[in-house]
Structure 1
């Protein structure tokens, strides 16, 4: 399933798809271990489907959290000066 089709789904539908894909992965692993399935490439495909769904859910979660997590640039600006900067300033605290 393509990511564009997954993005059109609601969160509840995505969670349902994630459960379906996990069940598919479990069954596929079982078939491979018992020798019923020889094509192991399906394991990778199933894992990627799950990852796609989780990625889209996480993107939506981060989009809904407006301003609660600082940006990378804000975090670096608020950090204490490094020891290299202290040496340049000539003052230690």
Structure 2
């Protein structure tokens, strides 16, 4: 997910995207433990997406507080 896409999302969409990404990361971790994971790099990408989403949510919260 690109940073520009994240900036264009509404707060509800950000929350939904965060939940979906965390769920997908959980599923990939389960696959990794059971030996079924084909693309291990996907875990890293999802972790970065989660960080981007959370960073945008925090920035919006701080801007709203000002």
CA root-mean-square deviation: 0.8
User: Structure 1: any 5+ residue segments left out of the alignment?
Assistant: 67-93
Give the paired residue count: 66
TM-score, normalized by length of structure 2? 0.94
Larger radius of gyration: 1
Could you tell me how far apart the structure 1 residues matched to 2:39 and 2:53 are? 23
Shift of 1:42: 1.4
Q: Which has the higher contact order (CA 8 A, sep 6+)?
A: 2
Look up the match of 1:46: 46
Partner of 2:32: 32
Report runs of 4+ in structure 1 exceeding 6 Å deviation: none
Partner of 1:78 in structure 2? none
Alignment of 1:1-93 (within 5 A): 1-66=1-66
